[in-house]
Amino acid sequence: MSAVLEQQPAAEPAVEPDVLFRVVNRVAIVTLNRPAALNALSHDMVRELAVLIERCRTDSEIVAVVLRGAGAKGFCAGGDVRALHAMRERNESGWQQFFIDEYRLDYALHRFPKPVVALLDGITMGGGMGLGQAARLRIVTERTKIAMPETRIGFLPDVGATRFLSVMPAEVELYVGLTGATLTGADALHVGLADLCVPSEWLDTFEERLLRIATVDASADELLRALRTVFEPPCNIVPHAGLGAFAQLILRHFDRRSGVERIVATLRQDLEREHPPQMGQREVRQWLQATYDAMTSHSPTMLYVTRDALLRGRQMTLAECFRMELGIVTRAIEEGDFSEGVRAHLVDKDRKPRWAPATLAEVRPERVRHFLASPWRADAHPLEDLGAQQA
């Protein structure tokens, strides 16, 4: 007599959390785990990260933190802009709390008393830069694509960018911040936005090496040196930075004394001029065209505001920069081009944003000043206490 086995329904696959946490040799490994969304940060992820970072700060058994992204495509593509746009369209107020919590998280990482390592492998943009640039040891690879492309959607390079981009010369900072240009890992190393550039496959085995370092009774500096040995290959070759080929063009066109309209005018002049072959005519023309296209297609208002904010941020503390950014972000979402930029590039994807005003010439100085002026009294700012107590 043969037995007939009743077929059991397949078990539902377990849903992994969006943030993973484990400890290896007293080092916390925190993984952003939304690979299908390029690990973009939701508000829940920001809250969870804040809890975990505070746990790592207070737990004496944890001596360092490694931040990484799941999957092979990116560390973190930024904040979940579509979700924020949808909240704004529904007239919900929670979008502002996202930025308040995100900026507090980023600031906590910048002031974290234990070594933080960020593996900026693959796409690292916006909010991903906010996390990564707070680390003491920033690792990039040949797959790294770093950018702050916010002006393209009517927004501001935020998450502390008005401060952390100032490690670069002002002209390079303005070029990167205004155009949203994508930098390679080699470029990031060249301009001071990374500490090591390694082959991506070297990161696949870092946990094995992590097990071999001494993490007991080591100072923060000793730990940082030991962590560097984990991530630095034995025969590391400094890669060629392609951005260097355009250094003179960047210095010429993005002079800190030039306003936005002047930058566009000099780009146009160079595009209309014939370039001698020895300059690398095709490459120069491609760079000029791409840069001109960005400066004439991104939000006119936010190009002006971003230029002024970046230059101001070079003279401000990190906490002051976060407060300035929150005010500008609030203006951009409540009364600026953000909703239209997200609609055109991420929702409808017609790539035809209707900016208001539509051209650089129409942006009035008083409008720029309005965006840079805080919406709150100093004692009522949501980030008023930032920096009051140092870790």
Indicate which CATH number applies to the domain containing 136.
3.90.226.10
Strand 137-141 and strand 196-198: the pairing is parallel
7 assigned to some structural domain: no
Which pLDDT score, from 0 to 100, does residue 94 have?
85
66 assigned to some structural domain: yes
How do residues 121-155 score in pLDDT, each as one tens digit? 999 999 999 999 999 999 999 999 999 999 999 99
Using the structure block, give the residue that is written with the tokens 């006119």: 300
- Is the pLDDT confidence value at 324 over 90? yes
Helix (H, G, I), strand (E, B) or coil at 190: helix
Q: Tell me how many domains the chain contains.
A: 1
The radius of gyration of the chain from alpha carbons, rounded to an integer in Å, stands at 23
Which pLDDT score, from 0 to 100, does residue 282 have?
87
Give me the helices (H) in 144-259, please.
Answer: 161-164, 170-179, 185-191, 206-210, 220-231, 247-253
Which pLDDT score, from 0 to 100, does residue 5 have?
39
3 assigned to some structural domain: no
As a whole number, mean pLDDT of residues 193-214 equals 96
Please, what sign has the CA dihedral across residues 272, 277, 278, 279? positive
Q: Please give the residue range of the domain that contains residue 282.
A: 16-391
In 10-132 the beta strands, taken as DSSP E runs, fall at 19-24, 27-32, 64-69, 74-76, 116-120, 123-125
For residues 189 and 178, what is the distance between their CA atoms, to the nearest angstrom?
20
Contact 235, 45 (CB under 8 A): no
Which pLDDT score, from 0 to 100, does residue 387 have?
86
11 assigned to some structural domain: no
Q: How confident is the model at residue 358 (pLDDT cuts 50, 70, 90)?
A: very high
5 assigned to some structural domain: no
Q: What pTM did the predictor assign?
A: 0.93
Contact 185, 143 (CB under 8 A): yes
Mean pLDDT of the chain: 93
* CB half-sphere exposure, 99, CA atoms < 13 A: 28
Which pLDDT score, from 0 to 100, does residue 64 have?
97
Indicate the range of 7-16, 55-64, 204-213 predicted with least confidence: 7-16
For residues 366 and 125, what is the distance between their CA atoms, to the nearest angstrom?
30
9 assigned to some structural domain: no
Both structure tokens of 315: 């003279």
Q: Which of 107, 124, 312, 301 is nearest to 200 (CA)?
A: 124
How do residues 248-294 score in pLDDT, each as one tens digit? 999 999 999 999 999 999 999 999 986 554 456 889 999 999 999 99
CA 179-247-263 angle, 5° bins: 45
How do residues 59-116 score in pLDDT, each as one tens digit? 999 999 999 999 999 999 999 999 999 998 898 888 999 999 999 999 999 999 999 9
What residues does 120 pair with on adjacent strands?
140
Both structure tokens of 134: 């707070």
What residues does 125 pair with on adjacent strands?
147
4 assigned to some structural domain: no
8 assigned to some structural domain: no
Helix (H, G, I), strand (E, B) or coil at 372: helix
For residue 267, the surrounding DSSP H or E stretch is helix 260-271
- Is the pLDDT confidence value at 4 over 50? no
